[in-house]
Amino acid sequence: MTQTALITGATAGIGKATAELLARKGYNLVLTGRRIERLEALKYELSSKYNIDIQVLCFDIQSYDACKTAWSSLSVETQKSITVLINNAGLASGRSPIHEGDVNDWDKMIDTNVKGLLYITRLVVPSMKEKMSGHIVNIASIAGKEVYQNGNVYCASKHAVDALSRSMRIDLLPFNIKVTNVAPGAAETEFSLVRLKGDEAAAKSVYDGFDPLLAEDIAETIWFALSRPAHVNINDLVIVPTAQANVTNLVRR
């Protein structure tokens, strides 16, 4: 049976790499994001190459109304076909001490990383429950395991994802729905560029002197969890580059 995966934040980075890998594995896809041109380009590329069905939904995951409208635009058949949910959409915005933080940055991180994840999960899970099967993968962060200077609200939001993954696992256990938490360390995506608000030089310097994770590394980790036998669930995975031991210990050459 062909499976369908809904991937949030699929326009770049981990979401895009995961879409490419799952397309190669024969999954149909529902891809979401805020940049319609990128979604359409990815849809064209993957559907042409792998002969799979792809639908794109362009909306802002920070808005529950937008999430509901996008979800409602899918046919009931498509909604019921979704077997995998990759909660990938997330971001960091700013890096200030707590007493100098920008409230707009705080809202953006909490609304995207926590509430957006909740909104999509709330919409998708009922059909999984009805089928008594499904797999949710939450993209958390090593910042959800530890904290670091000036990471305050971002770390708090990813700690929330970590906690939600554990509590979802308990809530959804009776319905045979798997939940996996994937917590990457330093990965070279658009993450730093977004966090540093478009400062390309500063964003690039974040990864100077070591080999960071690539989006493809995380996609392969997600696939590992998805491809386990029916009786196996991977609860939690932390993946870091070889140069990184934890959130504060990283060797640059």
**Tokens 């794109």, located at residue:** 56
Share of the chain above pLDDT 70, in %: 100
- Supply the pLDDT for residue 197: 86
> Over the range 15-51, which residues count as b (16 or more CB within 10 Å of their CB) and which as e?
bbbbbbbbbeeebbbbbbbeeeebbeebbeebbeebe
Q: Is the pLDDT of residue 235 over 90?
A: yes
> What angle do helix axes 152-172 and 117-131 make, rounded to 10 degrees?
10
Q: Quick one: tokens of 220?
A: 């392969």
Query: Could you tell me the CATH superfamily of domain 4-239?
Result: NAD(P)-binding Rossmann-like Domain (3.40.50.720)
pTM of the model: 0.96
Tell me the pLDDT tens digit for each residue of 191-219.
888 888 888 888 888 999 999 999 999 99
What's the rounded mean pLDDT across residues 29-45?
A: 97
- Active-site annotation, residues: 154
Instruction: Provide DSSP, the chain.
Output: ---EEEESSTTSHHHHHHHHHHHHTT-EEEEEES-HHHHHHHHHHHHHHH---EEEEE--TT-HHHHHHHHHTS-HHHHHHEEEEEE----------GGG--HHHHHHHIIIIIIIHHHHHHHHHHHHHHHT-EEEEEE--GGGT---TT-HHHHHHHHHHHHHHHHHHHHHGGGTEEEEEEEE-SB-SSHHHHHTTT-HHHHHHTTTTS--B-HHHHHHHHHHHHTS-TT----EEEE--TTBSSSS-B---
- Supply the pLDDT for residue 49: 96
What's the rounded mean pLDDT across residues 12-32?
A: 97
- Supply the pLDDT for residue 20: 98
- Supply the pLDDT for residue 81: 96
Given the DSSP bridges, would you call strands 82-87 and 236-239 parallel, antiparallel or unpaired?
Answer: unpaired
Q: Is the pLDDT of residue 1 over 70?
A: no
- Supply the pLDDT for residue 203: 86
Considering only CA atoms, which of 173, 169, 174, 140 is closest in space to residue 157?
Answer: 140
16 — pLDDT class (breaks 50, 70, 90): very high
> What angle do helix axes 215-226 and 13-24 make, rounded to 10 degrees?
50
Tell me the pLDDT tens digit for each residue of 115-163.
999 999 999 999 999 999 999 999 999 999 999 999 999 999 999 999 9
Tell me the pLDDT tens digit for each residue of 55-96.
999 999 999 999 999 999 999 999 999 999 999 999 999 999
What's the rounded mean pLDDT across residues 230-244?
A: 98
- Supply the pLDDT for residue 155: 97
- Supply the pLDDT for residue 194: 85
